[in-house]
Amino acid sequence: MTFAKERDKAFTDAVVNDNWDGVKRYAKKYGVPLPKSEKVMKAGIYKAVQYCTNIPEDVKTLAMQKCVKMGFNPFIRPIGEGSENHDD
């Protein structure tokens, strides 16, 4: 399985089933550091899903809803353009 397919599978499973084990395995396999805060990690994945071209729209919508429910903007914006500050 390719890097992108593994990522999309792990991200989709995390969003739909709230199963974060695949994301953690994926991150470890590719040396991707994850935030210490689980809340920040989840928000980051929910945001990243919006920019994955092979993730279905219904999964993107669910990720957006979950991100907003957590109090985060669901999109990635450049620093200085209204970025929220979270102490998590």
One pLDDT digit (tens) per residue for the chain, 88 residues = 788 999 999 999 999 999 999 999 999 999 999 999 999 999 999 999 999 999 999 999 999 999 999 999 888 876 665 545 544 4
The per-residue pLDDT for 74 is: 84
pTM greater than 0.75 (yes/no):
yes
| Alpha carbon distance 18, 31 (integer Å) | 22
Confidence (pLDDT) at 88: 43
* Helices 3-17 & 21-30 angle (0-180, nearest 10): 160
